[in-house]
Chains A and B, each alone.
Chain A
Amino acid sequence: MSHYESPYREPLILGEKSYHDISVDIARPIETRANRNWWIAFTIALIAFLWGIGAITYTIATGIGTWGLNKNIGWAWDITNFVWWVGIGHAGTLISAVLLLFRQEWRMAINRSAEAMTIFAVFQAGLFPLIHMGRIWDGFWTLPIPNQFGSLWVNFNSPLLWDVFAISTYLSVSLVFWWTGLLPDFAMIRDRAVRPFQKKIYSLLSFGWTGRAKDWQRFEEVSLVLAGLATPLVLSVHTIVSMDFATSINPGWHSTIFPPYFVAGAIFSGFAMVQTLLGIMRKVTHLESYITRKHIENMNMVILLTGGIVAVAYATEFFVGWYTGSPYENFTYMSVGAATGPYWWAFWSLILFNIVIPQLLWFKKVRTSFIASFLISIAINIGMWFERFDIIALVLSKGHLPSTWSRFEPTFVDIGIFIGTLGFFFVLFLLYARTFPVIAQAEVKTILKKTGQYHKNLRDNSHD
Chain B
Amino acid sequence: MIRKYYTVHALYKDDEVLMDAVKTVRAADQEIDEIYTPFPVHGLDKALGLKPTRIAIASFLFGVTGLLTAMWLTKYTMIEAWPQDFGGKPNGTYGQNVLAFVTILFELTVFFAAHLMVITFYMRSRLWPWKEAENPYPSSTDDTFVMELEVEEKLEDVKSLLEGTGATEINVIEKIDEDYE
CB distance A222 to B121 under 8 Å? yes
Q: Return chain A residues, CB-CB under 8 Å to B82.
A: 151-153
With both beta carbons as reference points, the residue of chain A lying nearest to B59 in the complex is identified as A225
Provide the bound-state CA to CA distance between A166 and B110, in Å. Answer: 10
CB distance A218 to B106 under 8 Å? no
Partner of A236, one of B41, B107, B132, B135: B107
CB distance A208 to B133 under 8 Å? yes
**Inter-chain residue pair count (beta carbon < 8 A):** 198
Of the stretches B137-145, B151-159, B170-178, the one at the interface is B137-145
CB distance B133 to A162 under 8 Å? no
CB distance B104 to A18 under 8 Å? no
CB distance A218 to B81 under 8 Å? no
Partner of A219, one of B38, B40, B139, B141: B40
CB distance from A458 to the nearest CB of B (A): 13
Beyond A20-B143, A209-B127, whether A216 also contacts B118 by CB under 8 A is no
Q: Return chain B residues, CB-CB under 8 Å to A205.
A: 129
B108 close to chain A: CB less than 8 A: yes
CB distance B38 to A156 under 8 Å? no
CB distance B122 to A207 under 8 Å? yes
CB distance from B62 to the nearest CB of A (A): 10
With both beta carbons as reference points, the residue of chain A lying nearest to B46 in the complex is identified as A217
Q: Return chain A residues, CB-CB under 8 Å to B16.
A: 2-3, 449
Residue interface bits B26-58, CB-to-A below 8 A is 1, else 0:
000000001111111110110010101101100
Residue interface bits A154-173, CB-to-B below 8 A is 1, else 0:
11110001100110010011
Partner of A229, one of B55, B78, B110: B110
Chosen A-B contacts, 6 in total, with CB atoms closer than 8 Å, are A161-B104, A165-B108, A176-B118, A180-B121, A208-B128, A208-B131
9 nearest A-B residue pairs (beta carbon): A208-B131, A191-B138, A19-B143, A153-B77, A207-B127, A210-B135, A445-B39, A442-B39, A151-B81
Give the B-binding residues of A (Cβ under 8 A): 2-3, 18-20, 23, 144, 151-157, 161-162, 165-166, 169, 172-173, 176-177, 180, 183-184, 187-188, 190-192, 203-222, 224-226, 229-230, 232-233, 236, 240, 243, 442-443, 445-446, 449
Given contacts A213-B37, A215-B125, 17 further A-B contacts (CB under 8 A): A23-B38, A144-B73, A156-B100, A157-B100, A169-B108, A172-B111, A173-B114, A187-B141, A188-B38, A213-B35, A215-B127, A216-B40, A218-B53, A221-B53, A442-B39, A443-B39, A445-B38
Give the A-binding residues of B (Cβ under 8 A): 13, 15-16, 34-42, 44-45, 48, 50, 52-53, 55-56, 59, 63, 73-74, 77-78, 81-82, 84, 97, 100-101, 103-104, 106-108, 110-111, 113-115, 117-118, 121-122, 124-135, 138-143
